[in-house]
Amino acid sequence: MRPLDASRIGTVRNSQGRGLMTHPLQLTPDGRLRHLLTVEGLSRPLLTDILDQAERYAGQPSSNRGSRGLKVPLLHGKTVVNLFFEASTRTRMTFELAAKRLSADVLNLQIAASSTSKGETLLDTLKTMEAMQVDMFVIRHEASGAAHFFAQHAAPEVAILNAGDGRHAHPTQALLDMFTIRRHRPDFENLTVAIVGDILHSRVARSDIHALRILGAKEIRVVGPRTLIPAGIEAMGVTVHNDIDSGLADADVVILLRLQKERMVGAFLPSTGEFHRDFGLTKARLAKLKPEVLVMHPGPINRGVEIEGDVAYGERSLILEQVEHGIAVRMAVMGMILGDEGADS
């Protein structure tokens, strides 16, 4: 795969993707979704509208069926291409299921077998597929700003949906996390949320923080070893805890993050065993928290590293709900962008 030419992205200011002001690009002049590149810059009414739209597809909270089997003709005749430059299973599958349940035609581009492996640039790939009358690209890429690059160069009738770019953003993961929290704790203004683990390399952490702030969460904490907490993150409106007991005290929601070993250059930890000892959520630690605390993880989980196996699928865990809600939230976003309620459709 040819690496993205960061110099052509233009708006990426550092390796963490800070400073990407995308709302002029991802919204129409009247404030509707044109693309979805980041949660940052979304208004509270628009974010809430996305969650409300997702409720249409998710079924009743008491139901175990969720959006399973629900199919609507909203995107009949539209074509969605999943363009994943990074390995992914659950995210790609939920995007594919979401598009199919909206009756869109779906293509999954195998990057290793595509022309990008023969030297074709990303812009060439975009323009070639645009010529095939594609309506939406769902893009995951290792470079922060990749989705912005595509959005800047896409034809006016083509939408870009960011499925995760570098350390920068994973907007639909944040939206499904907020959707899952809201179903159990709808009053965000009374919530204390602890995000635990590898904050430094996590696009989920950044997107969750933006979403929680937009929804007015009372307190947002980031918890982890000093080596995995980015300098200056307090500017995002969070408090930093390098001790897990203080970080989890009185928390209403605990969001655990996977160690992003593939993004680590050099040694950030003595060992995963030591990380589990100091920052892993175990049954013993869970027993000290509020009885009604919600445990979440964007997956895939590392059993015995950031979370104990019994906790991952215990009664406080919402991990499988997160996966299920991902389909409904992605249906909502795709429908709002490409459907009759979307912009420029």
DSSP string, 294-326: EEE--S---BTTTB-HHHHTSTTB-HHHHHHHH
Q: State pTM to two decimals.
A: 0.88
The contacts of residue 205 (CB under 8 Å, 6+ apart) are 195, 199, 222, 255, 257
The contacts of residue 144 (CB under 8 Å, 6+ apart) are 12, 15, 16, 17, 20, 165, 166, 167, 168, 169, 203
Contact call for residues 54 and 179 (beta carbons, < 8 A): yes
Two tokens at 8? 């052509």
List the one residue out of 41, 16, 6, 11 whose CA is nearest residue 231: 16
Per-position pLDDT tens, the chain of length 345: 333 333 333 333 333 444 444 557 899 888 889 999 999 989 999 999 999 999 999 975 544 454 456 789 999 999 999 999 887 888 999 999 999 999 999 999 867 555 565 556 778 888 888 888 999 999 999 889 999 999 999 999 999 999 999 999 999 999 999 999 999 999 999 999 999 999 999 999 999 999 999 999 999 999 999 999 999 999 999 999 999 999 999 999 999 998 876 555 555 666 788 889 999 999 999 999 999 999 999 988 888 889 999 999 999 999 999 999 999 999 999 999 998 654 443
- Please report the sign of the dihedral spanned by the C-alpha atoms of residue 92, residue 263, residue 299, residue 334: negative
The contacts of residue 72 (CB under 8 Å, 6+ apart) are 57, 101, 102, 103
C-alpha count within 13 angstroms, C-beta hemisphere, residue 93:
6
